[in-house]
Structure 1
Amino acid sequence: QGNPIFIKDVAKVVEGPVQNQRLVWHAQANDQSASEHPAVTIAITKKPGENAVDVSDRVLEQLNSLKSSLIPKDIEIAVARNYGETANEKANKLIQKLIFATLSVVALIFFPLGRREAVIVGSAVVLTLAATLFASWAWGFTINRVSLFALIFSIGILVDDAIVVVENIHRHQLLFPHKSLREIIPGAVDEVGGPTILATLTVIAALLPMAFISGLMGPYMSPIPINSSMGMLLSLAIAFMITPWMARIWLAPHSEQQKNHFNLALWISPKFKKIFNPLLSDQTGKRNRRLLGIGVIGAILISLALPVTGLVVLKMLPFDNKSEFQVILDMPPNTRVEKTSDVLKEMGAALAKVPEVSSYQIYAGTAAPINFNGLVRQYYFRQSPALGDIQVNLVDKHHR
């Protein structure tokens, strides 16, 4: 009596492992089933300005070389996410779209104006894109998905200046067939110079405020207005300096120009008359114009109603057919990490039955390596035994 009782007097005390605060599992889906294995995730981030494709290739090469020396044979290495590969795929796709957009513009000029005018416009577009990429590099931007998107976004505006100049030179050739190109070009360019400059500055004024977005989205959004604005200014300079010079050298003589114009006019004119005659008729023109105006207003109202009704979803970024997604789990407070892990495993077993799922990683008590979505939503704060998520990887989009 009166003596203290120690734990060693009533139990055997040994030093054991620290209670788990976080658990990570990896599972490779196979035949609609999967077995989880304990895992350690290593996230590798490139330095600013480095090529993500080259970095990922070198990392994979280094991993393969370590398999036979440093990494034991019973340790399996799996690449959960390779953003270098996806970045390369998306960049190539954007380049293809950029080429397609340029060729489409050239084709649209070829049919109404002729092959020489199309070559001039195409050359102006190529020069503008090259100069814009150089200016973007000088500004400090890299060629990535955002900067390429900015070029595609502004491709319709970049070609406008050259098209306006070439089309007006073409028109002056038809109006003044007795004059030479040397006499026609200055007046034709001067005639459209003021409106073209004003239109370009108006579009720049609409886009440039995006460059002053602050916070997390600032660095992500700034290449779009800056690259687009630089491209439009360079396009304006090329349209006023290079395009007239190319027109002076390459445009066809008056007789050939006149011949091409009238052949095309004979084909197009009847179709335009069918469209516009009902609107210009003395008897029914007023009524038809009124109906057209009502139809345009109705179409505008319908388009404005689409987001309100939910038929069109307004988003800052477009939907993307990605090969990954996350499942976020919030358990009741004070839930042990083992319980969170068990629930995540049950969810993973259900996901493994989906044929399009190739693998998944379970993170209980901690967050998965941060991606762009997690960065925006601040998932790195999800550090609690009651929180978890599953990083689900799908087969390639061409196979699903």
Structure 2
Amino acid sequence: MAFVGLLAGLIVVIITPKEEEPQIDVTMADVIVAFPGASAQQVESLIAIPGERILDEIEGIEHIYSMSAHGRAVITVQFEVGIPRQEALVRLYNQVFSHSDWFPDDLGAHQPVVRPLGIDDVPILSLTLFDPSGRQSGEDLTRLARALEVELKRVPGTRDVFTIGAVPDRVDILFDPALLAGFGLSVTDLAAAIQASNAAGAEVRITRDGVSIPIEPGQPLTEVDALPGLVVGLRDGAAVYLSDVAEIRRGETVPDAMVQLGFGPGAADHHGELFTAVTLAIAKKPGENAVVIARDLQARVDMLRGRVIPDDIGVQITRDYGKTAGEKSRKLITDLVMATFSVVLLVLAAMGWRQALIVGLSVIVTLLLTLVFSWAWGFTLNRVSLFALIFSIGILVDDAIVIVENISRRLRSSDRGLREIIPAAVDEVGTPTIMATLTVTAALLPMAFVTGLMGPYMSPIPINASAGMVISQIVAFVLAPWLAVRLLRHDKSMGQASDGGGGASAARGVNKHVQRFFRRLFEPFLGAQVWRRRGLAAGVIFLTLVAASLPVFTAVILKMLPFDDKSEVQVVIDMPEHTPVEQTLRVLTEMGRYLETVPEVSDWQAYAGTASPINFNGLVRQYYLRAEPWQGDLQINLIDDRRRQSHDIAQDLRDPLTEIGKRFGAAVKIVEVPPGPPVLSPVVAEVYGPDHETRAALA
């Protein structure tokens, strides 16, 4: 059984998907309704408010938010945590399309579009493309990114592959009004001719000589060179070409969004340089191993170097959650091994190497079997599930230690054989250890029923720890006695009979220095002097009151989770409305120039008029909707080898970046990746008022 448990546990460690965050069923969806030409107030009254009422009828809805802008409404529906994604989306689709008449058909609004979102929409890898020489334009980088999208989508396990900061191609057609009039054409005729030529008709078949020949009329325009020969009219029986009445040239696109890449002091190359860039973001399918997929994607990029990716194009990995998940897993597994080793050393010092070997093997089997249970339950290997094992190792070893210690004690005080001693020794402490296991399990399990995001996020701790307690109990009753028969029977010194009282028997085998220390510590309180015991009780009460008063006087700050040391920090800025995207990029660039003086910064990306690749925090806060020209993100990556934690770096960045933002009228927010499940904001308030101006002023 032990061998099977060891083998199964090792296999599970290899095959279980490794991720940084736990998998949570938190289903969100955006219902988007386009309403061309309508003001924000009209969109709110005609689309958003009626839509909220209809969607609020769905069972299992936790929150509904709506955003009304010029020509568009976005209604966000967040389901209760734990509702299966498929079931939630079916309810939403049924409600939306069975009540799609919530606005009149002749209103001019388009049909609703439902865009579901979940934790697997968060990209695990982002690649930023740039040209160190500066010869390639944003359009060139966009064409390369589109080609890479096709190649990277072929990697098994990938889900969404998309480009951020893409610059579309543009062709300028400059017509001469005099020439148009001379040929009897108008601008409308040109537009109609180009539109008609940029379409393909349905396939038809012509049968000739017993052969069916497929014919597809028309062909979409794919090259700029095809435009000059486009027929736009007839004059005197001769064709009039587009080149006869207009000048055609490739134009410079004014993008709606801009991306730049800069490098800090921690970068190996290009420190202080700034490049135009585009970013490829790749998300994975549910249940896939982030470590393996990220590694395969990078291998595919290396393979495409020189074939699809020119040698002079730089590819900077600006996010790698596979790497961070692997590092977290390795670190936590190392901590788990060190904790187990510490327990074994303690037992070795207290009872001997044979007992330490029994306890060590019992703990290893318990941990591996707990990992098997965790995998069967559906958990992945992430920082929360591994922390649950480290957290519980102190209580997992109790059962084995108690059983082994009682067997050893009976061996020291009896001449009987092991097969007679072990059943009695296990039976003697069996009931207390079972009660201890049930008590600890009863204390842990209520944590699994916490509601909201925190419950499922932290559920590996109570579930894995409780399962580990039960497994450790079974291992202590089955494996530990079996190992004692195999190992302790060879210890001749343990078979000698005791000579003396029970106290001497209990103390036999204990280190003399340890005995002396505890006697000096406890004997003063065990004598006839009652005042000493009363003084001890008063001291304990006083220290308890002091400890309880620390949070009251804010000497100790109470919080849900400690700060985590992350590899990234995000800066979100909001410029005054109607600020052009070029000005937003200028502010981000100024902030980036300051980052080039921070020694822990490896690289940074400025996203103006678009959102950076979202993380779990950005998913909940809906940063993916930030697409206005006056909105921008600054994504900061930190070097791995640093002394300061990311929280300390973020605190030091707050004042300088806020000061830069004030010079341009920008509102600046430093956003850290939270150590636990994200929230919309630490404080969320609803503001009510008679009109938008009053509400905005109060907010």
| TM-score, normalisation: structure 2 | 0.51
One-letter amino acid of the counterpart of residue 262, structure 2 = A
Q: Does 1:228 align with 2:465?
A: yes
1:195-249 Cα offsets, whole Å, 9 max, x none, are 2112212222222233334544454322222221211111111111221222233
The worse-fitting range, judged by mean Cα deviation, of 31-40 and 321-330 is 31-40
Displacement of 1:309 in angstroms is 4.3
Give the alignment partner of residue 362 of structure 2, picking from 118, 124, 133.
124
The worse-fitting range, judged by mean Cα deviation, of 18-27 and 271-280 is 18-27
The worse-fitting range, judged by mean Cα deviation, of 118-127 and 359-368 is 359-368
Give the alignment partner of residue 173 of structure 1, picking from 408, 411, 415.
411
Displacement of 1:311 in angstroms is 4.5
One-letter amino acid of the counterpart of residue 270, structure 1 = R
The structure with the larger Rg is 2
1:33-78 Cα offsets, whole Å, 9 max, x none, are 6343222222212223322222111111111222212224453211
Higher strand fraction: Structure 1 or Structure 2? Answer: 2
1:122-149 Cα offsets, whole Å, 9 max, x none, are 1110111121122222222233332221
Equivalent in the alignment of 1:3: none
Give the alignment partner of residue 101 of structure 1, picking from 302, 321, 339.
339
| CA distance, structure 2, for counterparts of residue 368 and residue 308 of structure 1 | 41
Displacement of 1:254 in angstroms is 6.8
| CA distance, structure 1, for counterparts of residue 509 and residue 470 of structure 2 | 36
The worse-fitting range, judged by mean Cα deviation, of 53-62 and 255-264 is 255-264
1:79-94 maps to which residues of 2 (within 5 A)?
79-94=317-332
1:369-391 Cα offsets, whole Å, 9 max, x none, are 11233335443343433332211
Give the alignment partner of residue 526 of structure 2, picking from 280, 300, 313.
280
Displacement of 1:275 in angstroms is 0.6
Displacement of 1:193 in angstroms is 1.7
Give the alignment partner of residue 589 of structure 2, picking from 312, 331, 345.
345
1:175-214 maps to which residues of 2 (within 5 A)?
176-214=413-451
SS for the counterpart of 1:137 is helix
Equivalent in the alignment of 1:357: 601
SS for the counterpart of 2:287 is coil
Equivalent in the alignment of 2:275: 37
Displacement of 1:154 in angstroms is 0.8
Q: Structure 1 residues 380 and 308 mapped into 2: Cα distance closer, same or farther (>3 Å)?
A: farther
SS for the counterpart of 2:472 is helix
Q: Does 1:155 align with 2:393?
A: yes
Whether the aligned pair in 2 keeps the contact of 1:52 and 1:84 (CA below 8 Å) is yes
| CA distance, structure 1, for counterparts of residue 564 and residue 370 of structure 2 | 27
| CA distance, structure 2, for counterparts of residue 349 and residue 309 of structure 1 | 41
Displacement of 1:361 in angstroms is 0.7
Residue ranges of structure 2 left out of the alignment (5+ in a row) = 1-176, 178-186, 188-246, 499-504, 645-699
Give the alignment partner of residue 22 of structure 1, picking from 238, 257, 262.
257
Whether the aligned pair in 1 keeps the contact of 2:385 and 2:461 (CA below 8 Å) is yes
SS for the counterpart of 1:78 is strand
SS for the counterpart of 1:40 is strand
| CA distance, structure 2, for counterparts of residue 312 and residue 18 of structure 1 | 56
Equivalent in the alignment of 1:247: 484
| CA distance, structure 1, for counterparts of residue 554 and residue 471 of structure 2 | 40
Whether the aligned pair in 1 keeps the contact of 2:351 and 2:509 (CA below 8 Å) is no
Whether the aligned pair in 2 keeps the contact of 1:323 and 1:397 (CA below 8 Å) is no
SS for the counterpart of 1:183 is helix
Equivalent in the alignment of 2:513: 267
1:245-272 Cα offsets, whole Å, 9 max, x none, are 2223322557436699635353332221
Q: Structure 1 residues 202 and 345 mapped into 2: Cα distance closer, same or farther (>3 Å)?
A: same
The worse-fitting range, judged by mean Cα deviation, of 274-283 and 249-258 is 249-258
| CA distance, structure 1, for counterparts of residue 512 and residue 639 of structure 2 | 54
Q: Structure 1 residues 257 and 56 mapped into 2: Cα distance closer, same or farther (>3 Å)?
A: farther
1:134-149 maps to which residues of 2 (within 5 A)?
134-149=372-387
SS for the counterpart of 2:319 is coil
The worse-fitting range, judged by mean Cα deviation, of 48-57 and 149-158 is 48-57
Displacement of 1:18 in angstroms is 7.5
One-letter amino acid of the counterpart of residue 202, structure 1 = T
SS for the counterpart of 2:314 is coil
Q: Does 1:62 align with 2:300?
A: yes
SS for the counterpart of 1:53 is helix
| CA distance, structure 1, for counterparts of residue 481 and residue 571 of structure 2 | 58
Equivalent in the alignment of 2:580: 336
Q: Structure 1 residues 129 and 25 mapped into 2: Cα distance closer, same or farther (>3 Å)?
A: same
Whether the aligned pair in 2 keeps the contact of 1:46 and 1:55 (CA below 8 Å) is yes
One-letter amino acid of the counterpart of residue 131, structure 1 = L
Whether the aligned pair in 1 keeps the contact of 2:551 and 2:558 (CA below 8 Å) is yes
Equivalent in the alignment of 2:544: 300
Equivalent in the alignment of 1:4: none
Whether the aligned pair in 1 keeps the contact of 2:600 and 2:642 (CA below 8 Å) is no
The worse-fitting range, judged by mean Cα deviation, of 124-133 and 64-73 is 64-73
Q: Structure 1 residues 369 and 202 mapped into 2: Cα distance closer, same or farther (>3 Å)?
A: same
Q: Structure 1 residues 67 and 148 mapped into 2: Cα distance closer, same or farther (>3 Å)?
A: same
| CA distance, structure 2, for counterparts of residue 311 and residue 326 of structure 1 | 30
Whether the aligned pair in 2 keeps the contact of 1:321 and 1:397 (CA below 8 Å) is no
The worse-fitting range, judged by mean Cα deviation, of 226-235 and 189-198 is 189-198
Higher helix fraction: Structure 1 or Structure 2? Answer: 1
SS for the counterpart of 2:260 is strand
Q: Structure 1 residues 372 and 290 mapped into 2: Cα distance closer, same or farther (>3 Å)?
A: farther
Q: Structure 1 residues 21 and 296 mapped into 2: Cα distance closer, same or farther (>3 Å)?
A: farther
Whether the aligned pair in 2 keeps the contact of 1:367 and 1:382 (CA below 8 Å) is yes
Q: Structure 1 residues 389 and 291 mapped into 2: Cα distance closer, same or farther (>3 Å)?
A: farther
Q: How many residues align?
A: 387
Equivalent in the alignment of 2:70: none
Q: Structure 1 residues 74 and 255 mapped into 2: Cα distance closer, same or farther (>3 Å)?
A: closer
SS for the counterpart of 2:569 is strand
Q: Structure 1 residues 52 and 167 mapped into 2: Cα distance closer, same or farther (>3 Å)?
A: same
1:316-395 maps to which residues of 2 (within 5 A)?
316-395=560-639
Whether the aligned pair in 2 keeps the contact of 1:121 and 1:166 (CA below 8 Å) is yes
| TM-score, normalisation: structure 1 | 0.86
SS for the counterpart of 1:63 is helix
Displacement of 1:17 in angstroms is 7.3
| CA distance, structure 2, for counterparts of residue 327 and residue 166 of structure 1 | 56
One-letter amino acid of the counterpart of residue 333, structure 2 = I
The worse-fitting range, judged by mean Cα deviation, of 204-213 and 376-385 is 376-385
| CA distance, structure 1, for counterparts of residue 544 and residue 629 of structure 2 | 52
| CA distance, structure 2, for counterparts of residue 379 and residue 290 of structure 1 | 61
Whether the aligned pair in 2 keeps the contact of 1:33 and 1:353 (CA below 8 Å) is no
